């Protein structure tokens, strides 16, 4: 749902710089009163209060955030125009954070509306006819802090009672906990309950849980207790923010009084910081385990103020029960990273097979393996057995007694509107770029492909990249695995039932069918296929219920496509028009002129052509035809964009014109070696040009030095710069690239960077949640994730979440919560298959 492109657009708005150098010395405030620290937030032991370090309100990271006793309890403290803001609602423009250390005030100016939000990629934003500016301030008051909002001018009368300051409380901490609002009280409900009403705009709102002047949250729980007092103006409201979307949080709100400007909002917030609180030590290991020949280092994460040191102990789990101590030593001091201090416990010398646990102080890890067969079973297979089959579009997915989803989207797809800014990055320009008119059904699109894992759209680059990584895994490791029946004629998948065919090839075929089908119908690639309405876009049910599976007939309906797109029933109402047999619910197909993407997709199809030969010769021929035609007609301005396709076509065809292109562009390739090195390594054996070889090898050596320098900044043995979005997918990409750098240049790049990347995803990553990002893989893993079944608080085996995210500037977080896409979302395009590749690579390299 929130793809990398979408995130990068948000990222451009972020206003603070993250300091990650291990030499950065943060001065800790050990007094029991809040003070502004060097990172420009309020701090005391057990309490941090940030203002405008993050600006990602859709991901519940913006405005004022509170971290209390090591737990983020709330965020998004800001002025909003609705009681429960949701997708498409207006957001303010954020100014520069200002820090007045003398007066101990942190402030930021905001302004409605923010026209930047309506630029490319965000889709249409609802902008009411209201312009106002304001300043949000936080100021310590002993163990409490004040929130003050000053408006530049009073609100118009028609906005009184609508505009208010909100603070969102993370529900996962509070289910079943109690609250007091003045003399009323209750329990935070597990699900959103009525009664509710529709406001004047027709939007459904749940009645507040409570109203009053003073709210006490979780009074029975010392670690989570917070008191919020409204010092002036209207009452506080405690609202269940899940009226419109399941992903909402609880909201504390007070509206702006009539004629208010100075101190229009003034709250006093008192989180209960436990006296002398320190972060408990955490030990991070691979939840799967290690090969005996592999470097094995447990990371120990400590509070920076924790001066205690304990021995680290490795226990072997005895076959007869109990634990046997096999190694005990003083961990090595590594240094500071983010807000923590790190120790390293190296147990690489232990090679005896068995189950093991590491203990430091009172913390003991989950059991993990040391075994030459550790990567042979239960690690990469769930990607192929579960995750990819579940994501298959245009199929019915049976899993023994379960149906993951029925036959879906057989009405794909209608040509998008022109001059249209959709949502989730989809934009159609002034032409369809095809012979099809807006609203016209395009044939050849209701076959193959995978749903984007967090929702149901299909981006062409995701389809092609998935095909590419599977093709590389098939070629590099000779994967021959069959545990799924896939029948393209009956459109039925039977999981856990072999059919005598290689599952990897069947999945490659499924992805290629979608890309080739669109290309043959339209004479060009599709940009993507996505739902026409936001209601469908946020669909949480069976994919088969999103549309009626019947191509829409506009003549039968008697409405033109242009008329339908303005029809509120379609855009904002039900995902299908109730009671009407001919529903305009078909997904839309978008096109674009994007040379870089065309060349990227063509590279994936060139790889598919090689591996499908002998399995599906007709499709293999179509893939190669697509790749060579795009090679001939695509007009890019940067030759580096063509390098991957040149290498894939060289390997596939052996044609000298592709090697000639590479040698001709040696300088550009070498200059961009961080991007191209892992790709062109495979070309060296096919190109005898010594100048080309020498330039590439010299550039790769320089790149190795850069990677080593970046590695030194983190304790995790590889470059890692955390962001709002979890870094797991990027680290997997890095790991795959490192495999090819190692195998192509073994004297320059070691295998360790790749293995560290794999371990990071499997549990060796920052924060208290040491789960494997791969659901169902390892002793402890993500079992509540942002997949198509997220509303069931469940997971898809083999899906790999985005992973530990950063609450800026320095707090790593991985919540057990199914609705934070930046932490637990699955994606297509290598998000899970890259882990499959890394595990297969580790098994090959360590068992050679």
CA–CA dist 839, 818 (Å, integer): 26
For 312-364, what is each residue's pLDDT tens digit?
999 999 999 999 999 999 999 999 999 999 999 999 999 999 999 999 999 99
Tokens of 290: 């290690």
Query: Which of 457, 449, 668, 677 lies closest to 546, judged by CA?
Result: 457
Task: Determine if the peptide bond prior to 113 is cis (ω within 30°).
Answer: yes
Write down the number of H helices and E strands in the chain.
20, 43
For residue 544, the model assigns a pLDDT of 95
Low-confidence ranges of the chain (pLDDT < 70): 1-30, 87-88, 115-127, 555-580
Q: Is the dihedral of CA 564, 569, 572, 573 positive or negative?
A: negative
Q: Render 3-29 in DSSP notation, one character per residue.
A: -HHHHHHHHTT--------TT--PPP-
DSSP codes joined into one string, 445-501: -SSS-B--TTSS-EEHHHHHHHHHHHHHHHHHH------EEEETTTTEEEET---SS
pLDDT at 10: 34
Neighbours of 324 (CB within 10 A): 13
CA dist 455 and 550 (Å) reads 21
**3-class secondary structure, 793:** coil
Residues 502, 290: Cα–Cα separation, whole Å: 28
Q: Report the half-sphere exposure of 513 (CA within 13 A, side-chain side).
A: 21
Q: What is the DSSP string of 349-407?
A: T----EEEEEEETTEEPPPEEE-TTTTTSSSSHHIIIIIHHHHBSSSEEEETTEEEE-S
Q: How far is CA 788 from the centre of its chain?
A: 14
Pull the structure tokens for residue 85: 């803001």
For residue 725, the Cα-to-chain-centroid distance in whole angstroms is 6
Handedness of CA 449, 452, 455, 457 (dihedral sign): negative
pTM exceeds 0.85 for this model: yes
Separation CA 119–CA 125 (nearest Å): 10
* Peptide bond just before 577 cis, omega within 30 deg: no
Cβ atoms of 534 and 572 closer than 8 Å = yes
819-835: per-residue pLDDT in tens?
999 999 999 998 999 99
Tokens 């490659």 belong to residue: 508
796 contacts 719 by C-beta, under 8 angstroms: no
Token pair listed for 152: 């530049």
**Confidence (pLDDT) at 4:** 41
């Amino acid at each position: 749902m929130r793809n990398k492109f979408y995130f990068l657009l948000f990222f451009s708005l972020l206003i603070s710089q993250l300091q990650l150098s291990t030499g950065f010395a943060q001065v800790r405030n050990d007094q029991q009163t809040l003070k502004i620290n060097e990172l420009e937030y309020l701090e005391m032991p057990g309490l941090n209060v940030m203002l405008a370090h993050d600006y990602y309100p859709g991901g519940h990271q913006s405005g004022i955030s509170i971290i209390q006793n090591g737990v983020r309890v709330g965020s998004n403290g800001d002025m909003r125009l609705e009681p429960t803001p949701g997708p498409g609602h207006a957001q303010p423009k954020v100014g520069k954070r200002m820090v007045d250390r003398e007066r101990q005030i942190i402030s930021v100016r905001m302004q409605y509306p923010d026209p930047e939000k309506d630029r490319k990629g965000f889709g249409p934003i609802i902008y009411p006819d209201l312009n106002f500016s304001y300043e949000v301030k936080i100021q310590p008051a002993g163990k409490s802090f004040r929130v003050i909002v000053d408006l530049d001018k009073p609100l118009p009368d028609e906005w009184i009672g609508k505009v208010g300051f909100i603070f969102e409380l993370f529900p996962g901490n509070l289910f079943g906990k109690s609250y007091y609002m003045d003399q009323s009280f209750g329990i935070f409900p597990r699900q959103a309950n009525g009664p509710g009403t529709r406001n004047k705009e027709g939007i459904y709102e749940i009645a507040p849980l409570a109203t009053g002047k003073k709210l006490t949250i979780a009074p029975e729980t010392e670690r989570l207790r917070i008191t919020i007092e409204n010092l002036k103006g209207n009452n506080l409201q405690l609202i269940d923010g899940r009226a419109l979307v399941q992903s909402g949080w609880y909201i504390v709100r007070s509206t702006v009084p009539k004629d208010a400007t100075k101190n229009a909002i003034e709250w006093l917030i008192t989180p209960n910081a436990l006296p002398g609180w320190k972060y408990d030590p955490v030990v991070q290991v691979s939840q799967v385990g290690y090969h005996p020949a592999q470097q094995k280092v447990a990371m120990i994460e400590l509070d920076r103020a924790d001066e205690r040191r304990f021995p680290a102990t490795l226990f072997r789990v005895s076959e007869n029960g109990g634990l046997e101590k096999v190694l005990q030593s003083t961990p090595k001091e590594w240094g500071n990273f983010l807000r923590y201090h790190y120790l390293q416990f190296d147990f690489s010398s232990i090679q005896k097979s068995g189950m093991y646990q590491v203990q430091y102080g009172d913390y003991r890890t989950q059991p993990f393996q040391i075994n030459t067969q550790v990567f042979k079973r239960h690690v990469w297979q769930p990607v192929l057995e579960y995750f990819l089959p579940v994501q298959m579009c245009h199929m019915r997915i049976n899993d023994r007694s379960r149906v993951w989803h029925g036959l879906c989207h057989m009405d794909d797809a209608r040509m998008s509107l022109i001059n249209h800014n959709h949502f989730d990055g989809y934009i159609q320009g002034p032409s369809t770029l095809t012979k099809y008119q807006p609203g016209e059904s395009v044939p050849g699109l209701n076959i193959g492909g995978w749903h984007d894992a967090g929702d149901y759209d299909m981006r062409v680059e995701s389809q092609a990249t998935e095909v590419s990584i599977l093709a590389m895994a098939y070629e590099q490791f000779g994967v021959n695995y069959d545990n799924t029946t896939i029948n393209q004629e009956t459109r039925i998948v039977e999981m856990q039932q072999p059919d005598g065919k290689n599952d990897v090839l069947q999945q490659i075929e499924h992805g290629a069918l979608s890309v080739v089908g669109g290309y043959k119908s339209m004479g060009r690639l599709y940009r993507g296929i996505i739902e026409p309405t936001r209601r469908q876009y946020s669909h949480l049910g069976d994919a088969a219920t999103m549309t009626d599976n019947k191509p829409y007939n506009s003549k039968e309906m008697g409405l033109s496509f242009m008329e339908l797109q303005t029809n509120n029933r379609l855009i904002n109402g039900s995902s299908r028009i109730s009671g009407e047999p001919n529903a305009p619910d078909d997904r839309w197909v978008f096109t674009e002129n994007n040379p870089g993407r065309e060349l990227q997709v063509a590279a994936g199809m060139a790889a598919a052509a090689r591996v499908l030969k002998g399995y599906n010769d007709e499709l293999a021929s179509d893939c190669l035809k697509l790749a060579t035609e795009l090679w001939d007609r695509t007009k890019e301005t940067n030759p580096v964009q063509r390098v991957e396709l040149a290498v894939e076509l060289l390997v596939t065809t052996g044609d000298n014109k592709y090697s000639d292109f590479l040698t001709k562009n040696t300088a550009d390739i070498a200059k961009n070696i961080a991007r191209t090195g892992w790709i062109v390594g495979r070309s060296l054996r096919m190109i005898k040009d010594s100048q080309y070889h020498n330039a590439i090898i010299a550039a790769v050596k320089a790149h190795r030095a850069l990677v080593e320098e970046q590695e030194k900044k983190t304790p995790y043995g590889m470059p890692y710069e955390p962001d709002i979005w979890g870094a797991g997918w990027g680290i997997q990409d890095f790991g795959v690239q490192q495999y090819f750098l190692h195998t192509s240049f073994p004297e320059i790049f070691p295998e360790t960077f790749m293995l560290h990347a794999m371990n990071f995803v499997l549990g060796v990553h920052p924060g208290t949640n040491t789960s494997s990002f791969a659901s169902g893989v390892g002793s402890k893993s993500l079992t509540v994730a942002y997949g198509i079944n997220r509303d069931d608080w469940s997971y898809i085996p083999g899906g790999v979440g985005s992973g530990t995210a950063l609450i800026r500037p320095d707090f790593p977080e991985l919540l057990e919560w199914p609705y934070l896409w930046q932490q637990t979302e699955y994606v297509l395009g290598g998000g899970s298959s890259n882990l499959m590749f890394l595990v297969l690579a580790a098994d090959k390299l360590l068992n050679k």
